[in-house]
Amino acid sequence: MPLNLVPFVSVDHMMRLVLHLGIERVLVELAAEIEADFHRWPLFDKTPRIASHSDVGVIELMPTSDGQTYGFKYVNGHPANMKRGLQTVTAFGLLADVATGYPVLLSEMTILTALRTAATSAMAAKWLAPPGARTMALIGNGAQAEFQALAFKAICGLTEVRLHDIDPAATAKCAANLAGRGLAVVSCDTPEDAILGAQVITTVTADKTNATILTDNMVGAGVHINGVGGDCPGKTELHRDILMRSAIFTEYTPQTRIEGEIQQLPPDHPVTELWQVIAGLAPGRTSAGQVTLFDSVGFAIEDFAALRYVAARVAETGMSVPLDMIADPDDPRDLFGMLLRAE
C-alpha cells in the first residue's frame, strides 16, 4: 500500500473481524499478545496517561513506543452518557513507524478496548487467581460485562458466572447475551448473593464516585479480586480495609496510584507490577488463603499490543479501507506545488 494511504479499521470492520475469527479466539490471542509485551516491559516508553478531567468525565491520551513502533489511544470515560443513550467509553487508536513517523494503522477502539480490557483481566487472573477457580461474581453488568465473562471462560476455564447490577435490566441484558455460550449464568439480587461460592470477584461499575461495591466482610480468604471499575481519580469500588489485607498487583504503578483503588492508600504502600510476576522477578499468589487484587486501570502497552494484533489480522483478512491521510508530493520540498496542482 502506498505510504500516503493508511489502513482504517472502522467499527463495522472491527465487528466483522471479531465475528470472523470468533470472540473467544480473539480474547485468547489478545491475552497472548499482551502477555508477550509484558514480558518485554522494560523496552517500552512508559508514562501515566495524559488526562483532561471534568465534573462529568475524563478524556485521555495513552501513548507508548517499543522503539520501532509508536502507538496511542484516545479514550473518554463519561458515566452519565448512558442516561443520554450514549456509550460511556469511546476510543480510537493509531500505530506509527518510529523510523519515518508515518502512521501505519488507524482503528476504532471502543470495541477493541472492551476486548483488551477483558483479555488483560483474564490474563492477570491466570497468574493470580486460586488454582481450579471455576466461579466468578460479576458485579456491574454494563458494556464490559459479557467480555469479562467470556474472557475468563476462554482463558481461565471458568464455568459459572454470578451476575449483579443495581439496574436489573442490565443483569437481564447480560444474562441474555451470555445464554448458550457455555457458561452457567446466575442472576443475583444482591452483591452478597453474587459472591457466594465465587473464587474470583470482578467489579466493573461505571459511576465516577468513591463507591463501596465490596466491603471487607464480603471478601473471604483465597479470593482473587479483579478490580476494573476504579480507573480515575475519585472513582473507586473497594473498601480500604480490603486493600490493607490483599496482595496488590498493578500495571504501571505511578498511574495506578493516581487512578486505581490504591489512590486510597499511602503513596509508599507496597504493590507488585504484574509484568514482574510474568517475567519471574516477583511472586504472584503465595498461599491458598491469600487475597489477591489486580488493581486494573488499563495501560497503553495493552492498547499497543491490541493494535498490533489488529494490524496483523487486517493484513491477513483485508478488513479495512485505505485512508488518504498523508500528503505525498513528488518532491518532498514542494508541498505548495502539490496544493496548486490539485486545482
Neighbours of 46 (CB within 10 A): 17
3-state secondary structure 283-319: CCCCCCCCEEEEECCCCHHHHHHHHHHHHHHHHHHCC
Mean pLDDT is lowest, of 77-81, 138-142, 291-295, for: 77-81
Q: Is the pLDDT of residue 206 over 80?
A: no
What the block records as the C-alpha cell of 183 is 457458561
CA distance 290 to 327: 57
The reported pLDDT for the residue numbered 186 is 98
Domains and CATH numbers, the chain: 5-111+301-327 (3.30.1780.10), 119-299 (3.40.50.720)
Q: Which positions are catalytic?
A: 231
The reported pLDDT for the residue numbered 3 is 80
The reported pLDDT for the residue numbered 251 is 97
The reported pLDDT for the residue numbered 99 is 97
Taking residues 187-211, report their average pLDDT.
89
The reported pLDDT for the residue numbered 57 is 87
For residue 216, which amino acid is it?
D
Q: Are 44 and 70 in contact (CB under 8 A)?
A: no
The reported pLDDT for the residue numbered 74 is 98
CA distance 77 to 85: 14
14-40 confidence digits (pLDDT tens): 999 999 999 999 999 999 999 999 999
Residues 6+ apart with CB under 8 A from 339: none
Taking residues 151-174, report their average pLDDT.
97
Average model confidence (pLDDT) across the chain: 95
First-last CA distance in the chain: 25
Q: Are 121 and 148 in contact (CB under 8 A)?
A: yes
Mean pLDDT is lowest, of 40-44, 86-90, 137-141, 312-316, for: 86-90
pLDDT class of 232 with cuts at 50, 70, 90: low
3-state secondary structure 224-247: EEEECCCCECCEEEECHHHHHCEE
Note the maximum CA span of the chain: 73
pLDDT > 70 in the chain, percent: 98
Q: Are 67 and 43 in contact (CB under 8 A)?
A: yes
What the block records as the C-alpha cell of 85 is 443513550
Mean pLDDT is lowest, of 177-186, 228-237, 283-292, for: 228-237
The reported pLDDT for the residue numbered 231 is 67
Taking residues 112-132, report their average pLDDT.
97
The reported pLDDT for the residue numbered 339 is 95
